[in-house]
Amino acid sequence: MILLVNPRATTWHYRIPLSVLSIGASIEGKFPYEILDGNIDPSLHASVLQRIGRGDIRYLGITVMPGPQLREAILLSRRVRQSYPKITIIWGGYFPSLHAAVTLQSGYVDYVVRDQGDLSFQRLITALEQGGALDDIPGISSIGDGTPRDNRAQGIVDPNSLSPLPYHRVDVRRYVGRTYLGTRTVNYHSSVGCPFVCGFCAVAAEYKARWIGLPAQRVADDLRWFKTNFNVNAVEFHDNNFFTSERRTAEFSERMKGMGIRWWGEARPDTMLNYDDRTWASMRDAGLAMVFFGAESSSTEVLRLMEKGGTQTGDTVLALVEKMRRYDIIPELSFVLGAPTPTIDADVENDIRFIRKVKRLNPDAEIVLYVYSPVHFEDSDLYKAAVQYSFSYPKTLEDWLRPPWSQHDLRKDPSAPWISKSLRTRIRNFEKVLNSAFPTISDLKLTPGQRTVLKSLGRWRYRLGLYRGPMEIMTAQRLFRYRQPEVEGF
Ligand code: B12
């Protein structure tokens, strides 16, 4: 009856498709459904058409985040609409949640489930099956009379109120793989949302400063189950902000000691700098290996424009990377360069100088460079500033198949009229030299010899601050198929 699809999003380490598995959990035992994952099925489109061809599928649910997965979802939906026009196509996930109207106007998406779909999807199917009213189902967008229409928003859904994930619906063994963290790494989502409203973040645009986590015991018990059944020795927490609650983190760390599992998660610098030293020691002893932080910018002005909130400043990040060196836990810092300000060139130069300072304080710190790529967060000061610099989104879904929109959300070369070509080149060249001088620890396929080559090409340039025209570095990185963790994860 229902086919849930995760279009291809990665060619590297596969992760359990938690988005569609969560929707599966919400209809388990209520409606018959199957899951197909483009990450492990290279001929997904053929598999979907073949499955629909058997005649008992009425609904196709597709999870869509921006980037290459969006392309896959557009091509697949178009094909299904052409071959099986009676199939109801429903999109969910970050892209349609923030771009519902343009998605529905495509003509090959009938409904959008915005934000968390755990309650709204099953209510939509029930109403469509039993002819109920659709207007009062929160979180649904539709285009019945040709005009896109958003029902009222779906407030945050407490993950503690939801059914456990039906892992039997996927072959977990296919998703447990080797990463920098361990030889048998699994992914897990232990909380929803984030308590902050940073203007460049799609999560903030959806959850509006709400965060709810599963209790530490539940998370530890679930990981013990993965260890017992799949011999897992590492976990990637896909939470947007795993470390929001120190109390939960401290209890979780106590419960993880002796489990032999290394872990990674995402956090805010100010939140974790304020953690007690005993919590730090406990996290280290519990296997915490690396933490991803939103450092964003060294400028207090830019952090204010980003509505980063909290107490975060550049000094917060410097103190944090020093502290983490003492606990032998690696900080992975992401920066968002190129925010729309009159001082943009100086801001970028300051950030480059700041990143060099970070590397002096902690050479093991991993650096991720993003270029500000507006997400559809209309209430944010940052988005308003982008609009003042004449930023606007494309008018049709098909436009997202073509540059600059096809790579807009990869956050490297976005459609951002205020960022000059020379500044983009400056950022990209600095990134190339930085990654060569300090190749990421997470690219497992790099041999010691290749690392030595990259370092010898990068270190002298980095020392002299010579970033212009790094052709030799680009050639070596292409030759070694250098892998940046921010593109497809570990
Ligand atoms: C795992 C992951 C990946 C994996 C791929 C996952 C996959 N689908 O195969 C990898 C590492 C490959 C990846 C890559 C990228 N990602 Co990513 N990714 C995530 C991450 C960390 C977890 C997703 C997840 O499983 N969440 C858990 C589930 C339960 O939550 P959920 O997805 O939100 O699903 C709920 C709702 O959205 C909704 N829903 C979702 N899908 C569907 C489908 C239907 C039919 C329905 C009804 C409802 C529904 O209901 C679900 C249950 O409540 C999210 C952040 C996050 N925590 O969500 C970022 C995130 C989605 N990624 C993001 C981005 C930008 C990317 C990249 C473009 C980054 C880059 N620089 O290249 C790349 C693109 C890769 C590509 N090739 O397309 C952004 C999207 C932001 C935006 N602008 O919209 C996010 C939000 C991270 C962030 N904080 O900004 N990603």
The last residue of one of the domains, among 419, 447, 466, is 419
Query: Do residues 162 and 26 touch, judged by C-beta distance below 8 A?
Result: yes
138 in the same domain as 112:
yes
User: Helical H runs in 258-397?
Assistant: 269-273, 277-285, 300-305, 314-326, 344-361, 381-388
Whether residue 198 sits in one domain with residue 143:
no
- The answer to whether 51 touches 34, Cβ cutoff 8 Å, is yes
- At 139, the amino acid letter reads G
Token pair 């029930």 in the structure block, residue:
126
pLDDT digits 0-9 by tens, 286-321: 999 999 999 999 999 999 999 999 999 999 999 999
387, 419, 451 - which closes a domain: 419
Do 218 and 349 fall within a single domain? yes
The answer on 256 and 324 residing in a single domain is yes
| 334 contacts: CB under 8 Å, gap ≥ 6 | 292, 293, 294, 295, 296, 368, 369, 370, 486
Examine residue 346 and state whether it is found in any structural domain, yes or no.
yes
- Residue to mutate (ligand 1; options 11, 16, 19, 200; most atoms within 8 A of CB): 19
The 3-class secondary structure across 393-417, one letter per residue, is CCCCHHHHHCCCHHHHHHCCCCCCC
> Residue 328 domain-assigned?
yes
- Asked whether the whole model's pTM tops 0.85, one would answer yes
- Would you place residue 434 in the very low, low, confident or very high pLDDT band (cuts 50, 70, 90)? very high
Regarding whether 353 and 400 lie in a shared domain, the answer is yes
Last residue of a domain, one of 419, 445, 461: 419
Q: What does the mean pLDDT of the chain come to? A: 96
Residue 132 lies in a domain: yes
In a domain, 166, yes or no: no
> What is the domain extent for residue 468?
437-490
Please indicate whether residue 189, judged by its CB atom, sits closer than 6 Å to ligand 1: yes
- The total domain count for the chain is 3
In the block, which residue shows the tokens 């100010």? 270
pLDDT of residue 485: 82
Q: Please tell me whether residues 19 and 78 are part of one structural domain.
A: yes
Statement to judge: residues 106 and 182 lie in one domain: no
Dump pLDDT digits (tens) for 84-104. Answer: 999 999 999 999 999 999 999
| Same domain flag for 192 and 288 | yes
Element holding 26 (H helix, E strand): helix 18-27
Note the pLDDT of residue 487. Answer: 78
pLDDT value, residue 312: 97
Which ranges of 62-112 would DSSP assign to H, the alpha helix?
68-83, 94-98, 100-104
pLDDT beyond 80 at 273 = yes
Q: Which positions ≥6 away from 316 have C-beta within 8 Å?
A: 269, 270, 273
Three-state secondary structure of 128-172: HHHCCCCCCCCCEEECCCCCCEECCCCCCCCHHHCCCCCHHHCCH
**Nearest CA to 418 among 445, 447, 393, 388?**
388
Q: Candidates 48, 89, 94: which one to mutate for ligand 1, based on the most atoms within 8 Å of Cβ?
A: 94
Q: Residue 355's pLDDT is what?
A: 98
Measuring from atom 6 of ligand 1, which residue has the nearest CA? 9
Residue 403 and residue 464 in one domain: no
3-class SS of residue 222? helix
Check residue 185 and give its pLDDT. Answer: 97
186/250 same-domain check:
yes
Whether residues 365 and 237 fall in one domain: yes
Ligand 1 touching residue 15 (CB < 6 A): yes
Q: Within this chain, do residues 180 and 305 fall inside the same structural domain, yes or no?
A: yes
CATH number at residue 268: 3.80.30.20
| Residue 322 and residue 400 in contact, taking contact as beta carbons nearer than 8 Å | no
Asked if residue 109 has pLDDT above 90, the reply is yes
* pLDDT reported for residue 490: 78
